Amino acid sequence: MNKIILMTILLLPMIGSIIGYVLGWKSREKYRDLFNITMTGLVFLLVTYLYKAVRHGTIEVFIPDIMVTGLYLKLDMFRYIFVWITCFVWFLTTIYSTQYLIKYKNRNRYYAFFMLTLGSTIGVFLSENILNLFTFFEIMSFTSYALVIHDEDQYAHDAGQIYIGMAIGGGLILLLGIFLLFDYTGTLNISEYPLKMAEMGGLKYLISTLLLIGFGIKASMVPLHVWMPKAHPAAPAPASAVLSGILIKTGIFGIMILSGYIMKDDQVFSMILLVGGLTNMLLGSFLAMFQRNIKRILAYSSMSHAGYILVGVGLMGILTEHKAVAIYGALYHVLNHALFKVLLFMGAGIIYMILHELSINEIKGFGRNKTLLKIIFLVGVLAVAGMPGFNGFISKTLLHEALAEAHHQYSGIGFTIAEIVFTLSSAFSLAYLLKIFVAVFIEKNEAYSGQYKSHVRAGAIIPALIISVVIIWIGVRPFTVLHMLEGAVESFGYHGHLEAHFYTMGNLKATGFTMLLGVIIYLGFVRTVLRRKDANGENLYVNPALNWFNLENHVYIPLGVYLFELISEMFHFIDQGMIRLVKATSGWMIALQHIEIRPDRFQQLKKKLEAGIGRKPLGPIEDIQLVKETAELSVKTKSYVQEVVHDIGEEIYSLSDVVQRVGRNMNTLMFSVLSFAVILAIALVVMIY
Amino acid sequence: MKHLLLLFPVFLPCIYAILYGLIRFKGDTHREVFIGTAIVGNLLLVIFMLQSNPLPSLHLFRLDQFVDVYFHVDKMGILFSLLASTLWIFTMFFSMEYMTHEKNTKRFFSFFILNLGVIMGIAFSGNLFTMYIFYELLTLATYPLVIHAETEDALYSGKKYLIYSFFGATFILLGMILLYSVTNDLSFAANGIIGKLDNYNETILLAAYFVMFIGFGVKAALVPFHSWLPSAMVAPTPVSALLHAVAVVKSGIFAIIRVSYFIFGADILGGMKGHLWINVMVIFTIVLGSLMALHQENLKKRLAYSTISQLGYVLLGIVLLNKNALIGGLFHLINHAVIKITLFFIVGAIYFTTGKKSIHEIKGIGREMPITMLCFSIASISLIGIPPTNGFASKWFLALGGIAENKIFFVVILLFSAFLTAGYLLPIVVTAFFQGEERALEEKKEPPLKILIPIVTLTGVIVLLGLFPNIVLQFIRSIVGEII
């Protein structure tokens, strides 16, 4: 029974996508919207229903003889966390979409791909066979592409191009890794890797690097993050919400599997993850401060939070004995980030829905009179910043504890820096969030004085409210979820539960310090350095980072273009190589034929006469009549001389001329026969020897 | 008698072709029924013939060991003949509609039917000599199809095609003579005939293999002998689809498989190290094809270069000389045939309904022809090798074969080429669906049913082959099991 439900969870969105598409065909959009909401709701309910069964044991489904290697699905607690949050968020986002997309074109296409993306994302999380995982991963990339470019304007297409390009490239690198992995371990089942990989030597670092690049692109790891700040703002808000909230998690999920199963908490690899995570954290939050488009700020913020999770995953391997806190932290943050980031994107979407503008210079003061929207946004902001009482605080505390534990274990300058980076990023987070919040919801702007109030629809605001409630609920009662996570931690070979204290004096103090730092950065940097007065005396934010060194424009694109040009040139040459060779050979042959057999008796005469023709007419002559006559005469003389030269040329015929004439008259068939004969002759010679 | 049955699929189409030329048909319906009988009948004949046990074989004419017209049916031949005759049916429906736009349909269909017989001849050849004869016939019989338009350009391309083909044929003949001087036998046998010899001159054998590989490689569009293929795209689309994605190029591949595994045998070739040199050419074929495809504006040319690259995959599967690689190669032979014929059909359908040929013209065409372009997208994704499509299945085995040879390099090349494949196919999809301005009243302009049905059916085959490849894979495994 549970197996059937598991298959249903995977297939329902995919079938629903097709049915929804057909339903929406003949402008029965209401039914389609309702149908889609029901579908996602049903999937969510089914997943929730499975909770009890999964707590008691994993559910596995294996279907052989399909997709080359068979389909092997598995649902354990670790996967359940991901699946559950996916379905939850998707359900709410679908409700939200029905409101958001009302004025959009191609709604039918959007829903079809939205549902397909859901199905494939669930597939990624359910796969036990790593090739199945890859399959769903690729399907997800393709279907989400249609979401990214939904607007079909130039910006969306540019973003889509880099998105799909990196997705495919990453996918292929991932595939290369999987090939190697399969070849050396002989298995595709993820849970069998820990045993098999243990015997492998240095090669496992090559494999893990390949896999890390593949998953890292989706998880927006530096320096593979360039698609993200472009793709997320380009997509419609509900799509950005799931891109940021969930699709990044597929990359994270892959990296967790890579670190926890395939590499089995390898120290070196974990260290790389830790450093990568810290870089992501810092760079993401730092760059977010500069952005002016709300969605882009949120995209960079997602990048930064992917870094938090990666730090947790990295610490999992480093804290060999005491890794529990790191796993809890990472998984908890996966959940929390999905919640608050989706909430914020929904908020941004509501603003965009009304104003069609996202730059905070344009929309400042918009939310001053919209209490509900303000509250929702505030919840999101405080959750991201990690304010006590909100869910972000819980997971950040856990992660910070893990980092402190590592610092305690391996006292070194490295971990001190890590802690500084951690605090700094959190402070940056608060700064960029304050930037949005103050500008949009607190500052005054005459243009917006509450006239759009009726535009905020219930269908859009209710999902956001639900998420806000969940965020606060988790913040207040963190142990309920922690209890849920216990089963998931067991998947990584840790048993027993965690003694965690969240609301302690130390934690609160540390958070307070971070918050203070954040406010200082906001006041001292964001508001002063990044804000200038324009000609009208208005305060506008500027983004000096636009002109900075940029990986995409200064490294990837030039490198790609030059490499492409170079290789293309080379292959163009080869492409025409055969024809060129033949032409060149025939050219040489002709040149060879021009070597005259006769002595150059006539040659000199010919040359002399030719030189005569070539010479220009005599100097300027005044009389027009005379000029005409001379011209006529010269034409006559010229043609006569040419004839003579031609005659002489005819006379110098030689053997080569005959050959040349034959060559000219030879047609395709004769040429073929001739080449045939030549090669036969060669064959004969070979045979004789 | 049972053995004589073998001759029907080969020679019946030839008779049909001549009859078709002679009979004056009263109307289009009669004409189409005649063609349909010829082609569908042939498939039925093939299937019927394959029921007999043991599989038929027949010496039609025998002068000595060398000049010996010998037919023999084996699994490899079954694979190729079934593939060709099935796809012939699809193309037949397609061209019945498509050729209404062109003149000289009589000549076209005559040679169209004739070619089927020739391909059957190649599939059922029992020795190299017979195969060589049909191989030459194929060149001659396809020539009128290539120059169908009779324009300057077409004639030039036809000339190029002939020169290249005969050049290749010459090499083949040379190889045959060299080979015969060593073996005194040219018949095909699983595992090769050379292994049975006591002693042999390795140098001559190597030379023979090399020369024959190049010779057959010309038809298989091996770089640097590929240039005829993009030029031959001046032919009408059904010809490009069938002959230049399936029949002609695949007969080159098929012949290479015959030579490699049925004359030489994997062990001998592996021992001679001859395939190592060929690897280089194959790699160039793969990369050059996809890279050049990126530069083509004309849709058909783009597909033609893509064919070159994909044929490189199949060749790679052959020359790696191990089981997985050969499974991948053979499977890709089928997959590529199905995928590429679909892509060509769609390009033809676009040309047929709108008269558009190049990429920048087809902006937003996905809105006018959604079903057609959806099929194009599926076929493209499959050709790139994104799972769970059939293109992925074959590349999976190819890559495993590559790694088994301890050469990650091959896999990297495969994946690089897959990336380029995405680079030249996806823009078409994106341009078709997501670009171009919105028009108020979208008029659906799907092609006529005779064109649409083959396209949709073939797309269905692609999806099915991707999801449930095991039936075909089982058969391929049994072939590979016999010859390696």
Q: What is the tens place of the pLDDT at every residue in B84-94?
A: 999 999 999 99
Instruction: Provide the residue type at A11 as one letter.
Output: L
Q: Which of B389, B391, B381, B385 is nearest to B416 (CA)?
A: B385
Tokens standing for A468?
């806000």
pLDDT at A651: 55
**Residue percentage of chain B with pLDDT more than 70:** 98
For residues A288 and A428, state if they share a domain: yes
Tokens standing for A276?
């990568």
pLDDT at A91: 94
Mean per-residue pLDDT of chain B: 88
Provide the shortest C-alpha distance from residue A179 to chain B (in Å): 7
Through-space distance between the first and last CA atoms of chain B, rounded to whole angstroms: 33
Q: Hey, CA dihedral for A428, A432, A434, A435, is it positive or negative?
A: positive
pLDDT at B253: 94
With beta carbons less than 8 A apart as the criterion, state whether A134 and B386 touch.
no
Which residue's entry shows tokens 């010829």?
A: B38
Q: Which of A345-359, A599-613, B122-136 has the highest mean pLDDT?
A: B122-136
State mean pLDDT over A365-385: 86
Measure CA A184 to chain center.
29
Residues of A in contact with B304 (CB under 8 A): none
A651 is a domain residue: yes
Partner-chain contact B386 A138, CB within 8 Å = yes
What is residue B60's three-state secondary structure?
strand
Instruction: Answer yes or no: is pLDDT of B440 > 60.
Output: no
Instruction: Answer yes or no: is pLDDT of A111 > 80.
Output: yes
Residues of A in contact with B386 (CB under 8 A): 138-139, 142, 168, 171
Q: How many C-beta neighbours within 10 Å does residue A115 have?
A: 28
Interface probe for A, chosen from B288, B468, B473 (most Cβ of A below 10 Å), is B288
User: What pLDDT digit, counting tens, does each position of B48-83 carry?
Assistant: 888 877 778 888 888 787 888 889 888 899 999 999
State mean pLDDT over A84-96: 93
User: What pLDDT digit, counting tens, does each position of A166-195 carry?
Assistant: 998 999 999 999 988 888 888 888 888 888
User: What pLDDT digit, counting tens, does each position of A40-80 carry?
Assistant: 999 999 999 999 888 888 889 898 877 778 889 999 888 99
Tally of residues, chain B: 484
User: What pLDDT digit, counting tens, does each position of A609-652 carry?
Assistant: 667 665 555 555 555 666 666 667 677 777 777 776 666 655 55
Distance CA A284, CA A413 (A): 23
CA A143, A149, A151 angle in degrees (round to 5)?
130
Residues of A in contact with B207 (CB under 8 A): 686
With beta carbons less than 8 A apart as the criterion, state whether A153 and A51 touch.
no
Provide the shortest C-alpha distance from residue B363 to chain A (in Å): 12
A178 is a domain residue: no
Tally of residues, chain A: 689
Measure CA A299 to chain center.
12
pLDDT at A632: 72
Phi and psi at A189, nearest 5°, equal -85, 125
What is residue B171's three-state secondary structure?
helix
pLDDT at B200: 78
Residues of A in contact with B291 (CB under 8 A): 567-568, 571
Query: What is the 3-class SS of A555-616, one letter each residue?
Result: HHHHHHHHHHHHHHHHHHHHHCHHHHHHHHHHHHHHHHHCCCCCCCHHHHHHHHHHHHHHCC
User: What pLDDT digit, counting tens, does each position of B254-291 carry?
Assistant: 999 999 999 988 888 888 877 777 888 899 899 989 98
Partner-chain contact B177 A687, CB within 8 Å = yes
Going by the DSSP 8-state scheme, the letter that residue A424 receives in this structure is: H
Name the residue in chain B with its Cα closest to that of A66.
B468
For residues A276 and A370, state if they share a domain: yes
Q: Which residue of B177, B400, B412 is in closest CB contact with A176?
A: B412
pLDDT at A615: 55
Partner-chain contact B435 A682, CB within 8 Å = no
Q: Which contiguous run of DSSP H or E holds residue B150?
A: none
Residues of B in contact with A140 (CB under 8 A): none
Q: Which residue of A65, A134, A679 is in closest CB contact with B387?
A: A134
Contacts of B455 (CB under 8 A, 6+ apart): B342, B345, B346, B349, B372, B375, B447
State mean pLDDT over A576-583: 80
What is residue A501's three-state secondary structure?
coil
Q: Which residue of B287, B404, B468 is in closest CB contact with A65?
A: B468
Higher pLDDT, A583 or B380: B380
**DSSP per residue, A472-498:** HHHHH-HHHHHHHHHHHHHTTT--S--
Partner-chain contact A168 B381, CB within 8 Å = no
Query: What is the 3-class SS of A163-226, one letter each residue?
Result: HHHHHHHHHHHHHHHHHHHHHHHCCCEHHHHHHHHHCCCCHHHHHHHHHHHHHHHHCCCCCCCC
Name the residue in chain A with its Cα closest to that of B422.
A168
pLDDT at A408: 85
pLDDT at A338: 93
A372 contact B CB<8A: no
Instruction: Provide the residue type at B355 as one letter.
Output: G
Question: Residues of B57-68 as b/e, b for ≥16 C-beta within 10 angstroms?
Answer: ebeeeeeeeeeb
**DSSP per residue, B85-142:** HHHHHHHHHHHHHHGGGSS-HHHHHHHHHHHHHHHHHHHHB-BHHHHHHHHHHHHHHH
Query: Greatest CA span in chain B, whole angstroms?
Result: 78
User: What pLDDT digit, counting tens, does each position of A223-264 carry?
Assistant: 888 888 888 888 999 999 999 899 999 999 999 999 888 888
CB burial of residue A496 (10 Å; 0-12, 13-18, 19+)? exposed
List all residues of chain A from 515 to 574 with a beta carbon under 8 Å from chain B. Answer: 567-568, 571-572, 574
Instruction: Answer yes or no: is pLDDT of A567 > 70.
Output: yes
Partner-chain contact B288 A571, CB within 8 Å = yes
For residues A508 and A657, state if they share a domain: no
Instruction: Answer yes or no: is pLDDT of B251 > 90.
Output: yes
A131 contact B CB<8A: yes
pLDDT at A602: 61
Q: Which residue of B292, B393, B438 is in closest CB contact with A575?
A: B292
Q: Which residue of A67, A172, A683 is in closest CB contact with B415?
A: A172
For residues A366 and A487, state if they share a domain: yes
Q: Which of A598, A404, A619, A612 is nearest to A500 (CA)?
A: A404
Distance CA A559, CA A419 (A): 35
**Residue percentage of chain A with pLDDT more than 90:** 28
**DSSP per residue, B401-458:** HHHHTT-HHHHHHHHHHHHHHHHHHHHHHHHHHH-S---SSPPP-PPPHHHHHHHHHH
Question: Residues of A612-640 as b/e, b for ≥16 C-beta within 10 angstroms?
Answer: eeeeeeeeeeeeeeeeeeeeeeeeeeeee
pLDDT at A379: 92
**DSSP per residue, B248-290:** HHHHHHHHHHIIIIIII-HHHHHHHTHHHHHHHHHHHHHHHHH
pLDDT at B118: 93
Tokens standing for A11?
């297939």
Instruction: Answer yes or no: is pLDDT of B441 > 60.
Output: no
Phi and psi at A680, nearest 5°, equal -60, -40
User: What pLDDT digit, counting tens, does each position of B141-183 carry?
Assistant: 999 999 988 899 999 999 889 888 988 998 999 999 888 888 8
Question: Residues of A28-52 as b/e, b for ≥16 C-beta within 10 angstroms?
Answer: ebeebbebbbebbbbbbeebeebee
Partner-chain contact A135 B387, CB within 8 Å = yes
List all residues of chain A from 652 to 671 with a beta carbon under 8 Å from chain B. Answer: 668-669, 671
User: What pLDDT digit, counting tens, does each position of A8-42 carry?
Assistant: 999 999 999 998 888 887 767 788 888 999 999 99
pTM greater than the 0.90 cutoff: no
Residue A290: domain span:
265-493+503-533
Instruction: Answer yes or no: is pLDDT of B342 > 90.
Output: yes
Q: Which of A241, A232, A235, A9 is nearest to A110 (CA)?
A: A235
Count A/B contacts: CB-CB distance under 8 Å.
134
- Where do the H-state alpha helices sit in A370-412? 371-385, 391-409
Bridge partner residues of A531 (DSSP):
A541
pLDDT at A192: 86
Which residue's entry shows tokens 């049972």?
A: B2
Domains identified in chain A, total number? 2
pLDDT at A302: 93
For residues A402 and A485, state if they share a domain: yes
Interface probe for B, chosen from A576, A672, A684 (most Cβ of B below 10 Å), is A672
pLDDT at B433: 84
List all residues of chain A from 459 to 518 with a beta carbon under 8 Å from chain B. Answer: none
pLDDT at A143: 92
pLDDT at A542: 81
Interface probe for A, chosen from B434, B438, B468, B472 (most Cβ of A below 10 Å), is B434
Distance CA B401, CA A319 (A): 40
Which region holds residue B151: left if phi is over 0, alpha if psi is between -120 and 50, else beta? beta
With beta carbons less than 8 A apart as the criterion, state whether A392 and A336 touch.
yes
Distance CA B312, CA A263 (A): 35
Distance CA B118, CA B136 (A): 9
pLDDT at A549: 78
With beta carbons less than 8 A apart as the criterion, state whether B422 and B384 touch.
yes
pLDDT at A452: 65
Instruction: Answer yes or no: is pLDDT of A457 > 90.
Output: no
Instruction: Answer yes or no: is pLDDT of A529 > 60.
Output: yes
For residues A522 and A643, state if they share a domain: no
Tokens standing for B74?
């084996």
Distance CA A499, CA A324 (A): 10
Interface probe for A, chosen from B140, B157, B170 (most Cβ of A below 10 Å), is B170
Instruction: Answer yes or no: is pLDDT of B243 > 90.
Output: no
Provide the shortest C-alpha distance from residue B98 to chain A (in Å): 30
Q: Which residue of A139, A567, A668 is in closest CB contact with B163?
A: A668
Going by the DSSP 8-state scheme, the letter that residue A526 receives in this structure is: I
State mean pLDDT over A541-553: 79
Going by the DSSP 8-state scheme, the letter that residue B5 receives in this structure is: G
Instruction: Answer yes or no: is pLDDT of A2 > 80.
Output: yes
